[in-house]
Structure 1
Amino acid sequence: MAFKAVFDLTQKAQNEAKSERKLQTPFDEPDADRESAGIADLPERLQQGIEALGWPALMPVQAEAVPYILEGRDLIVQSRTGSGKTGAFLLPLLEKLDPNEKTTQALVLCPTRELASQIHAEFERMNAGLAKDEQLDAIPVYGGVGYGPQIDAFNRGVQLVVGTPGRVLDHLARGSLKLDKLRTIILDEADEMLSMGFFPDMIKVRRYLPKQRDSYMFSATMPFQVQRIGKEFLTDPVFLATAGGQIHVEQMAHRAYQVAPMDKDRTLAALIEWENPSAAIIFANTRREVEYLATFLNNYGYNAAGISSDLTQKAREKTMKRLRDGELRFLVATDVAARGIDVPDLSHVFQYDIPQDREYYVHRSGRTARAGKAGVSIAITTATDMPTLRQIARKYDIPLEERELPTEAEMASRVGQRLTNLLEDRMRDRSNLERERQARFVAVARQLVEEGEPEVLAMLLDEAYQQSLNEAPVGPAMDRTESEYDIKQREAREERESGGRDRKRGRRRDDDERDERDDAPHADARDDVSADAPSADADSADLDAEADGVDGSNGEAKPKRKRSRRRSRSKSDAGSDD
């Protein structure tokens, strides 16, 4: 009797399967019996702020989030831009901050100077609804402007600071901004801050924060890296998603851009620059295109390599290992060569060509958004391909979003801010001697600008930016240090395991040296196992190694120990010759 297996690959079927599974998140779910708030339920100061803004009612994200913030409960909110999230975290500040205390009590970190200005302007509008003696002082803080006015405002005393992580960190390092009286920190558009490369600055800012504080995070998307930010900054937060009530961390965004056939390669480079993924796979239909795109991206300044069926299995495994180890940022591949690829921290898939077999679109997209993480699948299409892509989206019930490419002005603004963040970061790390050396050239830089020769400076900026393209943005998933959450988890695990070790030791003979050795290194080794666990590709590498008479795990021969030592020495000698 024959059985036929049927797999439903539609988005609808996948969503139904997800709804049947119990959602696993590291955060608390919202209170089931909590009702959304209305304007009449809010404190008088908040109602005055709402009246000044002219809002007829609270938006859903505000109605759900404001009560948690007023209670001082740490909160993570997944809500898209334009949903009213800014009002959700600003309104409660009218009640939480003390106008008589002339110190910084709340800090809002956001990714861009434009957003900092918008948040500050909205706060000033709602602040104007309060009585004069109850109004609060706020200031936007970002790079590209002088330090003087910002320092003067800090000296006068402001209750709210809204700024980008880089400039806020500058003031903290100078001592012009002090956060010892801080009560509230808010991370707005956390996913964008990661994309802009602000993660190292955010971690440095965290060192200046008092332990007793209320913390809130808002993000349009909730990929794994953003969840790690939540673990770094928040304590037992509630996870609130305003889209339909059900929280789904596993998300796959599908985007399509239609361009002329001759513009596809430059469009790919532009979208990589815009999205700034930590790692990505780029799919092409032919080996020739794989070779061309790998060369094109390397010439453009990116760290890329291609794999196709032309390569030997060992060469493919070597390339895949570079991708898993973070040594390779972009992998270009055909569908055949990409079989079995499983990279945990892959954030993006770019489909340079629409697959000839429609089902492969689903398989390609599935290379990201794995194991409860979020991902983005981007298709670059032509007018000829777009009808086929729409048919695929209809067949598999895929929520395909057709987008226009970013304009040159939008791209220049994003790249400029990313470069500014990079250079300010380098400036902070310079020694006193290096700062003395660079001071000699400040007058030269001013002269070049005043005499109408900014192209010389632009050349140096371009070189600095191109060097940065080889480096993936540093984020929580790439950070090798343990977060506070990870430390707590490890300590709890070690405490559980220590009981088992003690029982085993009781059954052993008394051996002082063995019993008194430090267990910490062994605990670290256990923590490293999950990160270095062998994959399917590693297993195949082991098989190849075994065919050569070598253990693929450590490069040593298996049969006899004496031969193993000789083989190991000869292998290390060969390695040193390389």
Structure 2
Amino acid sequence: MQDTLSPEGPPAATAAALPEITLDELSPELQAACGRAGWTSLVPAQAKAIPYLLADRDVMIQSRTGSGKTGAYLLPIMKKIDLHKNVAQALVLVPTRELALQVSREAQMLCEGTQLRTAVVYGGVGYNTQLEAFKNGAQLVVGTPGRILDHLLKNTLTLDHLKMLIFDEADRMLSMGFYPDMVRIRKYIPTARIASSMFSATFPPQVVRLAGQFLKEPELLSLSGNEVHIAESEHIYYVVPGMRKDRSLVRIIEIENPASAIIFCNTKDAVHYLSVVLKRFGYDADELSSDLAQTAREKVMARVRRGALRFLVATDVAARGIDIPDLSHVFQYEPPEDPEAYIHRAGRTGRMGSSGVVISLVAEMERFKLQSIARYYGIAMEERPLPSDEELERVVTERVTALLESRLRSRDNLQVERMQRFKALARTLAQSEDELAIVAMLLDDYYQLTLHTPPEQPAAETREESAPPRVPAKRPNRRAHSRSRKEKNFQP
């Protein structure tokens, strides 16, 4: 009997979990690699995940940054690669240049003194260094989907001998707009059995469907707690000045880039104000409160039901009874006045076994109330610093670059020929400091258009078509059964 999980329903049966592994149980080669990295033991993420990857079992692994997940897949890759073959045997797809470089550095540290060669591949830079790495026989390729696809289209990279395929931060790859490129990459993956794993901080339905397209009968693990269990939603909060909450929310939305979200406010005035702010920033947002006329409410509801509205700003009362499919994010512009409301708000995402992200914005004095709710309900909440200007610029730059490169790849010969008329002008604008404002304006206009079009996601499959992941057995979770009693007795 095996446990199954899909966006359409909860687990149905049970799959046996593999036992954890210790450093002493690794092969001498892998123990030596751990020694080069200064590891005296395996962290929980590695101890749980490595047995599955060594056994060639396809897995979806919930893991957050800093969990040790990179080592969890690099060590099995080292074990599986045949050093006598100078061809690409393992492919690690990542969402950003920074993560590609980070994974590459860790791989080089673990593989120091061995014959394993690594190529790191990402857009926005020249091709020569990457081509040289391929010519030198790189067996491990780490890169962003867009540039990987470029090399596949040009036949400078082949995956004919691929043994392992890793998706690192799959949720971020979807939010960056890489899904169309990933679909095209799939055509170059051999039809023979490939061991595939997907690492993601959360598993909303879109990521589950992505796994169904690349992984075969995947098992679902979580590396967030002390046991292997069904993925739960991620709870994050930011402490922000009350007068800057609107700008702070926009900054966080820019980083997260959710396909759709509900933003909860405590009052009708706050709902109206925030919906206006989001619209002025270029976002596809609308409001729902008791002040809304019936015809206007029906129009908003129709967009919600069609999945045609990206951001719904609402009060708790107005949002009752609304079910938005595939909702990946819930934002709380203000912490709820009633602690029980936090559970109801958070429950809008992560339904039926999938997981999502719940983000709260709190003023300094509101932090303690939120922390009291977290302690009482046993919710692990992570406080994060507000994204800096530099971080925001980097994320937006990588996102726009990925979108533009993808759009360029989709142009036919006639469109490419037509583009030549503007090459001289583009060169002039790029070289003139005075004209940079024009280039920035064009990029901003293009980016604003993308705010109304969420990144393309894997489409929902029918129940017959889907191949849901299996979930290893776990102990029953009694927390949900005790909530009703706790909610009545809560004291912040």
Same fold (TM over 0.5): yes
Greater alpha carbon shift after TM alignment, 414-423 vs 372-381: 372-381
Decide which moves more: 415-424 or 391-400.
391-400
Q: Which amino acid aligns with 2:131?
A: I
Letter in 2 for 1:178: T
- 1:556-567 matches, within 5 Å, as none
Q: 1:26 to 1:413 in 2, by over 3 A?
A: farther
Looking at structure 2, the residues matched to 46 and 26 of structure 1 have their Cα atoms a distance apart, in angstroms, of 37
Unmatched tracts of structure 2, length 5 or more: 1-8, 469-492
Which runs of 5 or more residues in structure 1 are unaligned? Answer: 1-22, 491-578
| 8 Å Cα contact 2:202-2:233 kept in structure 1 | no
Within-5 A mapping of 1:327-476 = 327-453=308-434, 454-476=436-458
Offset, 1:320 = 1.7
1:58-97 map, 5 Å: 58-97=42-81
TM-score, normalised by the number of residues in structure 1: 0.74
Q: Secondary structure of 2:383's partner?
A: strand
> Shift of residue 77 of structure 1?
2.2
Contact 2:221–2:228, Cα closer than 8 Å, also in 1? no
1:252 Cα shift?
A: 3.0
What is the DSSP-based 3-state SS (H/G/I as helix, E as strand, rest coil) of the residue aligned with 2:358? strand
- Work out which of the residue numbers 120, 134, 148 in structure 1 matches 2:104: 120
CA shift, 1:359, in A, is 3.1
Aligned partner letter, 2:456: V
Q: What does the per-residue CA deviation read over 1:364-390, in whole Å, with 9 as the maximum and x for residues that have no partner?
A: 222222222222222222234334434
Q: 1:144 to 1:280 in 2, by over 3 A?
A: same
Code of the aligned partner of 1:455: A
Deviations 1:162-219 (A, max 9, x none): 1000110111112211112212111111122122222221121111101221111222
Q: Separation in 2 of the partners of 1:26 and 1:122? A: 39
90-99 vs 409-418, which deviates more? 90-99
Q: How far apart, CA to CA, are the structure 2 residues paired with 1:347 and 1:310?
A: 27
Q: Specify which structure has the bigger relative contact order, considering alpha-carbon pairs within 8 angstroms and separated by 6 or more residues.
A: 2
Q: Does 1:184 align with 2:164?
A: yes
Taking the aligned partners of 2:317 and 2:332, their CA distance within structure 1 comes to: 14
- Please identify, of 279-288 and 184-193, the stretch whose mean Cα deviation from structure 2 is larger: 279-288
Could you tell me how far apart the structure 2 residues matched to 1:28 and 1:140 are? 39
**Map of 1:528 onto structure 2:** none
1:289 corresponds to: 270
Matched with 1:244 is 226
**Contact 2:90–2:163 (CA<8 Å) still a contact in 1?**
yes
Number of aligned residue pairs: give it: 457
Q: CA offsets per residue over residues 519-564 of structure 1, 9 Å max, x none?
A: xxxxxxxxxxxxxxxxxxxxxxxxxxxxxxxxxxxxxxxxxxxxxx
The SS at the match of 1:64 is helix
5 Å matches for 1:10-89?
24-25=10-11, 29-31=15-17, 34-89=18-73
Q: Match of 1:170?
A: 150
Give the secondary structure class of the aligned counterpart of 1:337. Answer: coil
More helix by share: 1
Pick the aligned partner of 1:210 from 186, 190, 196.
190
Residue 262 of structure 1, CA deviation: 2.0
Matched, 1:487 2:465: yes
- CA 452–157 in structure 1, closer or farther in 2 if over 3 Å, else same: same
Question: Could you say if the C-alpha distance between residues 379 and 412 of structure 1 is closer, same or farther in structure 2, counting changes exceeding 3 Å?
Answer: same
Letter in 1 for 2:79: E
Q: Which amino acid aligns with 1:221?
A: T
TM (normalized to structure 2)? 0.86
Rg: which structure is higher? Answer: 1
| TM-superposed deviation, 1:314 | 4.8
Structure 1 pair 358/76, CA: closer, same or farther in 2 (3 Å)? Answer: closer
Q: 1:200 to 1:50 in 2, by over 3 A?
A: same
> How far apart, CA to CA, are the structure 2 residues paired with 1:355 and 1:36?
40
Deviation at 1:313, TM superposition (A): 4.1
CA change 1:221–1:367 in 2 (3 A) is: closer
Q: Identify the residue that residue 145 of structure 1 maps to in structure 2.
A: 125
Maintained 8 Å contact 1:28/1:236: no
Deviates more, 1:335-344 or 1:410-419: 335-344
1:272 aligned counterpart, secondary structure: helix
Change (3 A) 1:321 1:86: same
Deviation at 1:468, TM superposition (A): 0.4
- Residues 264 and 333 of structure 2 are in contact (CA less than 8 Å); yes or no, is this contact kept in structure 1? yes
CA contact (8 A) 1:27 1:238 kept: no
SS at 1:338's partner residue? coil
What is the CA-CA distance between 1:45 and the residue it aligns to? 2.6
1:60–1:260 CA distance, 2 compared to 1 (3 A): closer
Are the aligned partners of 1:108 and 1:161 in contact in 2 as well (CA < 8 Å)?
A: yes
Name the SS for the 1:221 alignment partner.
coil
Contact 1:344 1:370 in 2 (8 A): no
Pairwise mapping of residues 258-297 of structure 1 onto structure 2 (< 5 A)? 258-297=239-278
Deviation at 1:117, TM superposition (A): 0.9
Distance 2:21 2:373 in 1: 42
2:83: which partner in 1? 99
Cα 1:392–1:47 shift into 2, 3 Å? closer
- Report the AA paired with residue 45 of structure 2: V
